[in-house]
Structure 1
């Protein structure tokens, strides 16, 4: 029977831990692992505009902290002047080593992401299509991602979900963790 917590339905299905890290390391599918999930409800919708040279992550995370947003879905559209973009792992198995593509020439962006907190506050995880002319990059913009001209941001607050970004020591990443 699922647990009811703060008007949110939390269903824990399957497990993670070592099986997840093992499946990444070997490329094998963990047959006994299923998705963990939680059902919340829509809270506030925050619409924001970013300006030239603003720090993409810094501004969105600061806004989430100021408004005490703990969980949110994020949509961005507009321009990025520069970024270092994670475009996948160097190898499909073994330890995760990111592959990067960098640009510093002003590009268009359309992206979706999430905000969940870690021990220091709200953390944005964003994946986007980023392009200029005939060149396109799809990945996770990081490393000095700054706004070109204007960036429109919409945060959809999610209430009733107890979630955080917690370290996974085996993968060396902070991953979404649903708590009971």
Structure 2
């Protein structure tokens, strides 16, 4: 097991406007604010997106199974901000749903 200890520091609340790219806007914001580590909680809706819902086959290294969705889907999820090779990186996991259909996975 590995762990690290943190303390609550800065807290931001963002509103992403209709037509803005959720992932791009969020990533630009954390770069501009020099956020190095953190947690993102999000709730809203997406017009469209792509999600990795598991591997194509159960092998290492895995080939991601991508699912595209469009037409307005409700969304809830979380992300982890961590140091990357080119600055802060974000890993998102979410559940999206529309008209009785749901997907859960890694939001791309």
Same fold (TM over 0.5): yes
Q: Which residue matches 1:47?
A: 13
Shift of 1:123: 1.4
* TM-score, length-scaled by structure 2: 0.93
Shift of 1:56: 1.6
* TM-score, length-scaled by structure 1: 0.58
1:82-127 Cα offsets, whole Å, 9 max, x none, are: 1111000112233210001101211000001111121222211110
User: Aligned equivalents of 1:127 and 1:42: distance in 2?
Assistant: 22
Higher share in strand: 1
Question: Matched residue pairs, number?
Answer: 108
User: Aligned equivalents of 1:135 and 1:82: distance in 2?
Assistant: 14
1:1-32 Cα offsets, whole Å, 9 max, x none, are: xxxxxxxxxxxxxxxxxxxxxxxxxxxxxxxx
Query: Which ranges of structure 1 fall in alignment gaps of 5 or more residues?
Result: 1-34, 143-180
List structure 1 runs of 4+ shifted beyond 4 angstroms: none
Query: Which ranges of structure 2 fall in alignment gaps of 5 or more residues?
Result: none
Relative contact order (alpha carbons < 8 A, sep ≥ 6): 1 or 2 greater? 1
Q: 1:128 aligns with which of 74, 88, 94?
A: 94
Give the greater-gyration-radius structure (CA): 1
Q: Which residue matches 1:97?
A: 63
